[in-house]
Structure 1
Amino acid sequence: MSNQYLVAALYKFVHLSDFADLRAPLLAFCEARDVRGTLLLAEEGINGTIAGPEQGIRAVLAHLRQDPRLASLEHKESWADSQPFYRMKVKLKREIVTMGVPNIHAATMAGQYVRPEDWNELIDDPDVVVVDTRNDYEVSIGTFAGAVNPKTASFTEFPEWVKEQSREGGVLHGKARIAMFCTGGIRCEKSTAYLRTQGFDNVYHLEGGILKYLETVPEENSRWNGQCFVFDERVSVGHGLRQGEYTFCRACRMPLSLADRESPMYEEGVSCPSCHGKHTEEQLQRFRERQKQVLLARARRQRHIGVRAQQKAQPGPDAPAGAEAAVESRVAARH
């Protein structure tokens, strides 16, 4: 693995009153060790995805855990064949995952953790409502069998969905037990905390998220169907966290399957079945010129970085940290 990059996804809800003061030293520490990605700091905690040489990542994690408030910080690891991020960013935010509802204290109000080894038994119970808290485009490529898809475009839409579905006739109305899951666990910390403020007492969430489940539970025992969307150039992973078949549409950033890429509506770097017919002729010309430069850079075995300035779209506010860097890296030649 000497030629691979270690990717670490981390988060922790904890009160950081001095979070603004942590930014500059943390950025300098990461850059000095050739670690890249994005870390978000807020009064409610830290959230991030970083990648780099193994020694550098281990050093950053140790540095963070030297702070007594972050001593119990957990992270999830995977490997990439090349650096999935262009640069290192440490950003100051109001929330480390944006729900937009004040006074949701996930550090103290989150629901009950369920270990990946115990998750199947919980969701197999017909009296348990299983909810996928991710956005619709993430759910579209994989989810747990029988899970409810709220069909949200952003995590900020989730509270309204809960209110609607709590009314008579809704999927949450009169339900005593609700199980929630997301990619790495961070959204579920907030979503279960929010449900508790709405009067739901028996709320559970998958500890470590889908990624930990796919890493831990043998495929033959799994209730997972499809792939898990991730916010970096791997695009998707499956059981054992093996990289999946999906790529990104460079025009709209939607994940593309092999079938999508065989569609007559797909033009590499220009359009896909999700965005075909939605761009102006001027945009299409710009996309084609960008793709031409990408192919030229690829032929030179270089990454096409110059197109970053053209990318104005941002990931959803609920995306794990690192998604903004992924927006930049998605337009580069695939590694």
Structure 2
Amino acid sequence: MPDTLNISAYLFTPIDDAPALRPVLRERAVHAGLLGTVILAAEGINLFLAGAPDAVRGFIDELQRDPRFAELRAKESWSAQQPFQKMLVKVKREIIRMDHPTIRPDAGRAPAVSPTTLRRWLDQGADDEGREIVLLDTRNAFEVAYGSFEGAADWRIERFTQFPDAAAAHRSELDGKTVVSFCTGGIRCEKAALHLRESGVEAYQLDGGILGYFEHEGRAHWSGECFVFDEREALTPELAPATH
């Protein structure tokens, strides 16, 4: 039975003391025996951690006592071994780099579609107003190769900073349609949806990303696996490490 708890979580929330917070969080994580990565920026926090279940959940509980992180929600999965080798806490300009400073999720989120709603839309072939659905994969091309939603648009970007240019090039393909952007855990598709809405597209983000969809709806309308940035490499729709 796998006994290592893996979590991924992010939250766009204003942080004005990231350099001072960095050693505090690292000491707390090391003391709890956790490994993984925490990224801090003025726009929020992004983290991937693994360790003993009580230690991982205790770290999140303590983090949520800070009012800035009270809304942080972690997605859980399990592995037989520790998938990380180090405990890193980094301060960066953005928690996910887009190089588009007008996009500020910490100032207001893009509208979200729940996994249950998305599955209903896909089952019926349109949204609740009868509009055509465009599922937009905002991940890098090598990630998409592991698996994606059936029929999803894939713009073959190599890094997320290319997304704004790709969106401009494909803008006409989205007119009059309901666009649902998705990514692994939700962070990239949240910025993507805001950018698309800024340009007049009726865009939504998939709440909780692919991993959140797997948790609630399993493999419905999905083909393949989901790449993750740790030694597990990929997860199945059952949130188990893929075997290769």
Match of 2:173 among 168, 171, 174: 171
Give 5+ residue unaligned stretches, structure 2: none
* 8 Å contact from structure 1 (residues 110, 192) kept in 2: no
Secondary structure of residue in 2 paired with 1:171: helix
**CA distance in 1 between partners of 2:37 and 2:214 (Å):** 24
Of 238, 241, 253, the match for 2:239: 241
Distance between the aligned counterparts of 1:245 and 1:55, measured in 2?
27
The equivalences for 1:92-171 within 5 A come to: 92-123=91-122, 124-125=125-126, 127-166=132-171, 170-171=172-173
Are the aligned partners of 1:109 and 1:193 in contact in 2 as well (CA < 8 Å)?
Answer: no
Q: What residue identity is the alignment partner of 1:179?
A: V
Contact (CA 8 Å) 1:138, 1:228: kept in 2 or not? yes
CA distance in 1 between counterparts of 2:109 and 2:64 reads 22
Q: Superposition pairs for residues 151-300 of structure 1, below 5 Å?
A: 151-166=156-171, 170-172=172-174, 174-200=175-201, 202-219=202-219, 222-246=220-244
**TM-score if structure 1 supplies the norm length?**
0.68
Alpha-carbon deviations, 1:32-80, whole Å to 9, x = none?
1111100000000000101111121122101210101111110101111
Partner of residue 90, structure 2: 91
Compute the TM-score of the two structures, normalised by the length of structure 2: 0.93
Q: Could you report, residue by residue, the CA deviation over 1:129-176 in whole angstroms, capped at 9, with x for unpaired residues?
A: 22111111111121111110010000011000001111xxx422x234
TM-aligned CA distance change 1:218 to 1:199, over 3 Å: closer
Unaligned 5+ segments in structure 1 are: 247-335
The alpha-carbon distance between structure 1 residues 61 and 156, as it changes in their structure 2 partners (threshold 3 A), is: same
2:74 partner SS: strand
Q: Runs of 4 or more off by more than 4 Å in structure 1?
A: none
Structure 2 SS opposite 1:179: strand
More divergent stretch after superposition (115-124 vs 59-68) = 115-124
Q: Secondary structure at the match of 1:51?
A: strand
Does structure 1 conserve the Cα–Cα contact (< 8 Å) formed by 2:135 and 2:152? yes
TM-superposed CA distance for 1:107, in Å, is 2.8
By how many angstroms is 1:103 displaced? 2.2
CA RMSD of aligned residues (A): 1.5
Instruction: Identify the residue that residue 49 of structure 2 maps to in structure 1.
Output: 50
What residue number does 1:72 align with? 71
Q: Is the 8 A contact 1:9 1:76 kept in 2?
A: yes
In 2, the alpha carbon distance for the partners of 1:146 and 1:48 equals: 30
| Aligned residues between the structures | 238
- Check the 8 A contact 2:77/2:240 in 1, yes or no: no
Please say if residues 78 and 240 of structure 2, whose CA atoms lie closer than 8 Å, have aligned partners that are also in contact: no
- Contact residue 79 and residue 241 of structure 2 kept, 8 A: no
> Quick check: which one's strand share is greater?
2
Question: SS state of the match for residue 210, structure 1?
Answer: helix
Distance 1:33 1:9 in 2: 17
Spell out, residue by residue over 1:171-230, the C-alpha distance to the aligned partner (whole angstroms, 9 max, x if none): 22x234211111111101100111122122x211111111111121144xx000111111
